Amino acid sequence: MTDDNTTTDIDADDATDTESRLRRRTLMGLGLASPAFGGLGLAALQSRLAGASDGTAADPFRLSGSTTATDATARQARTRVTDPVDGQTEVAEDYGVVSASTSLLRSLGADVGRQLRIRRTDDEYAVYTVVEAHEGSEPLVRMNGTAKSRLALAEGDWVGEPDCRLGCPRPEETPAIADETFDAEAESVVPAADLTAEEAREADELVEDATEGGTEFLVLAPHGGDVEPRTAEQAEHVRDRVDDATTWLTKGFRAGGGAFVRWHVPSFAIHPASYPALADVAGRRYERAVSFHGICSDCIQVGGAAPKSVRARVRDAINAALPESASPAILADGAYRAEGEHVLVNQLTAGDEGGVWVGQPVADRERYWRAIADAVVDAVRGEN
């Protein structure tokens, strides 16, 4: 199987690729790593990238501290959910992010960049990233109407393909809650504790799973379960194959659909302090790393901050392992490039190399998830 990206002159290209990768780490601190923007407005995105080019823009997804010193203690606090105010452009446009009052953040032991689970009722809850802190003594969360609608999934259907970057799901009809202010509970840790994956499926919950091995090889699947199906199975398969691999994955569920809407956090925004098992994994750096993802694309995209020669080897291994009927694997560019320093797989690799980010269309994940995983791990570890 072939594609438009060839392996010709890879060695000659590596020096230029390394230089441009380091330069673009500044330009692309946001990462663009997730299978979906989560509704991020293009104007806000372009503004942030333009500001970051001179190093002056504050990146709301930059970790507030080192990932080796994260506080993953679970805390809860009552709060009020209301609308954004003038000037909160990003919060007004993005259904995955919120602004939180400083008093709420203090009570939760959290900061900008963290994820919060917001719970409206026993059955209605979702995960959001805090991108702004606003002054105030009242515990308050500000989010837009679509973000509020994520706390009322039982009240209507959502349309749009979850894995599409620019076609994120939206309510088919706007529920009444979109215009309301209401009480809720904020929680500083995302995963449910002390549940198996099967119990999480029955409870419409999300759990994380980590295996602490060595520092030679790390495997990630941040969006497993029904969020991006088969990615967790890929990480588990690699864990079974590779002695001493370190792994971290999540499995999120919601009966009747909506797991993506409820649980998805872009991989450039995931904060280890919000995921206790990840906090443990993030205490070290790894020589090589790979992260499995779902995407809405007609190709398997091989991205990440790893050198071009490594990414090309992964691409070629996938194409060699799959039948002609499968989607071709290509070197990712643009939206799926995933080379930013805040992309989780790049954060956790040692030095400046970064990891390999593999985005897969849903049909290929369903049919060839095991073959893709085998090809990727062999290529990353230099075994083919």
Report the predicted TM-score, pTM, of the whole model to 2 decimal places. Answer: 0.83
Per-residue pLDDT of the chain (384 residues; tens, 9 = 90+): 433 333 333 333 444 443 333 333 322 233 323 332 233 333 333 333 333 322 222 333 333 333 333 467 789 999 999 999 999 999 999 999 999 999 999 999 999 999 999 999 999 999 999 999 999 889 999 999 999 999 999 998 898 877 775 557 889 899 999 999 999 999 999 999 999 999 999 999 999 999 999 999 999 999 999 999 999 999 999 999 999 999 999 999 999 999 999 999 999 999 999 999 999 999 999 999 999 999 989 999 999 999 999 999 999 999 999 999 999 999 999 889 999 999 999 999 998 778 999 999 999 999 999 999 999 999 998 876
Check residue 82 and give its pLDDT. 98
- Answer CATH for 10-39+194-380 from 3.40.630.100, 1.10.1060.10, 3.90.1150.10, 3.30.160.20: 3.40.630.100
Q: How far is CA 4 from the centre of its chain?
A: 28
Residue 354, phi-psi category: left (phi > 0), alpha (psi -120 to 50), beta (remainder): left
Measured CA to CA in angstroms, residue 57 lies from 27, 50, 316 at distances of 10, 8, 38
Residue 206, phi-psi category: left (phi > 0), alpha (psi -120 to 50), beta (remainder): beta
CB 125 within 8 A of CB 96: no
Check residue 282 and give its pLDDT. 96
CB 61 within 8 A of CB 342: yes
Check residue 167 and give its pLDDT. 58
Collapsing DSSP states into helix, strand and coil, what is residue 246?
Answer: strand
Domain parsing of the chain, residue ranges: 10-39+194-380, 67-187
From CA 252, how far away is CA 259, in angstroms rounded?
6
DSSP structure class, residue 328 = P
Architecture of domain 67-187: Beta Barrel (2.40)
Check residue 165 and give its pLDDT. 55
From CA 296, how far away is CA 298, in angstroms rounded?
7
302 bridge partner residues? 331, 358
CB 214 within 8 A of CB 203: no
